[in-house]
């Protein structure tokens, strides 16, 4: 247990009280190490960035296509999410800014909603030196998106909120949720899905994968699912949620049967087809569009893959933790590993016991949750 507790404890506190405090932290999803890291991070941030009453801090939610970037964090030469976003803000307000992300994502990892914060001092362009009232969040969103879309358009601001000057996007985050998409099936992957998922040619057994998920949920030493180079002080993490769900594959368009069933139940109010209708197996369909027919109407139609999404939710993750977990789950789904093997890997407490991790292209940062004052 860490000596750096969130609340200082008197030396006379009993071991029983310490154990009770530790259990409370685990139930809430906060490890002692993570609490200490947050407090130290907030203290360092405030010492390096004294409060400036003329500056407004914004919390900015963004989405992006990860395969277009060399990760989220700024780098000297490579194109990154933060670099592109800082450039757009610079064009908007006319001065450079520094952006801090809540979560670092590797090259190839996408974001449905990553969050960062930025400090903006609105200075008049007509009267240099004159400080104006802060922009409204909606103005910031529209203006920054204008400059983002003028270039490659692979980053978009989806929400903006004014927050206090000491509100830190990383250290104030309550939990993070990741999605991982797998498409299973022997057919080649559609080019529309390229770099958006992990294509697994074998069929997957989602029931076995879900059993393996139960092994990993909770408070564990995740050293076996922690890549070399991880800078976290402790491998202990509380995994609040881990599950696998089958969902419609995307890009998603209704199948013939689904369209027919919708027409039958909804009275077909928007149908514009000139083809006559027929009743087939109790379902109304257009003639020649019976599922599984062998006539020319079935030519050129792609067979769908089975699409599965692994959801992982925690306050914080270790470096490559989700991708290493998904790599193990995939092996359970194909029969290469058993649920007992996953237990063995977890107990080994070394990444050398894990299977190769899943590729970055199937991983999506889905949500970062906050509590606002």
Any idea which residues carry the catalytic annotation? 106
Structure tokens of 182?
């797998």
DSSP H stretches of helix in the chain: 15-27, 32-48, 81-93, 137-149, 206-216, 256-266, 321-334, 339-348
| Cβ-contact 173, 103 below 8 angstroms | yes
Identify the DSSP state of 319: T
Upstream peptide bond of 180 is cis (omega within 30 degrees of 0): no
| Cβ-contact 312, 365 below 8 angstroms | no
Site of tokens 């004052």: 373
| Cβ-contact 338, 215 below 8 angstroms | no
How far does CA 343 lie from the centroid of its chain?
Answer: 25
- DSSP codes, 259-284: HHHHHHHHT-TT----SPEEEETTEE
- DSSP codes, 164-181: -TT--TTTT--EEEEEEE
**Dist CA 290 CA 103 (whole Å):** 48
In degrees rounded to 5, what are phi and psi of residue 308?
A: -120, 145
Q: Which residues pair with 314 in a beta bridge?
A: 176, 239
**Dist CA 144 CA 197 (whole Å):** 29
């Amino acid at each position: 247990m860490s000596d750096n507790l969130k609340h200082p404890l008197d030396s006379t506190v009993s071991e029983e009280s310490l154990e009770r405090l530790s259990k409370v932290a685990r139930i809430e999803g906060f490890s002692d190490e993570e609490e200490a890291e947050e407090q130290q991070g907030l203290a360092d941030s405030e010492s390096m960035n004294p409060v400036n009453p003329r500056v407004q801090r914004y919390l900015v939610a963004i989405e992006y296509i990860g395969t277009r970037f060399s990760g989220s964090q700024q780098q000297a030469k490579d194109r990154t999410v933060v670099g592109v976003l800082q450039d757009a803000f610079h064009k908007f307000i006319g001065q450079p800014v520094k952006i801090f992300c809540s979560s670092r994502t590797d090259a190839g990892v996408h974001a449905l909603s990553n969050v960062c914060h930025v400090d903006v001092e609105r200075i008049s362009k007509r009267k240099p030196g004159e400080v104006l009232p802060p922009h409204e969040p909606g103005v910031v969103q529209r203006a920054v998106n204008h400059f983002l879309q003028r270039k490659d358009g692979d980053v978009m601001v989806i929400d903006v909120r004014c927050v206090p000057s000491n509100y830190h996007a990383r250290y104030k985050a309550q939990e993070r949720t990741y999605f991982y998409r797998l498409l299973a099936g022997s057919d080649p992957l559609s080019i529309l899905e390229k770099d958006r998922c992990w294509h697994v040619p074998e069929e997957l057994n989602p029931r076995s994968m879900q059993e393996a998920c139960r092994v990993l949920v909770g408070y564990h030493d995740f050293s076996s699912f922690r890549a070399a180079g991880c800078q976290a002080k402790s491998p202990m993490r509380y995994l609040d949620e881990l599950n696998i769900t089958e969902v419609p594959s995307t890009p998603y368009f209704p199948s013939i049967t689904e369209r027919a069933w919708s027409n039958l139940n909804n009275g077909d109010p928007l149908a514009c087809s000139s083809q006559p209708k027929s009743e087939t197996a109790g379902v109304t369909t257009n003639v020649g569009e019976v599922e599984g027919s062998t006539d020319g109407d079935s030519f050129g139609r792609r067979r769908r893959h089975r699409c599965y999404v692994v959801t992982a939710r925690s306050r914080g993750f270790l470096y490559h933790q989700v991708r290493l977990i998904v790599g193990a789950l995939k092996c359970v789904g194909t029969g290469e590993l058993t649920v007992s093997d996953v237990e063995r890997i977890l107990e080994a407490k070394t990444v050398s016991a894990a299977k190769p991790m899943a590729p970055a292209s199937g991983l999506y940062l889905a949500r970062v949750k906050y509590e606002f004052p």
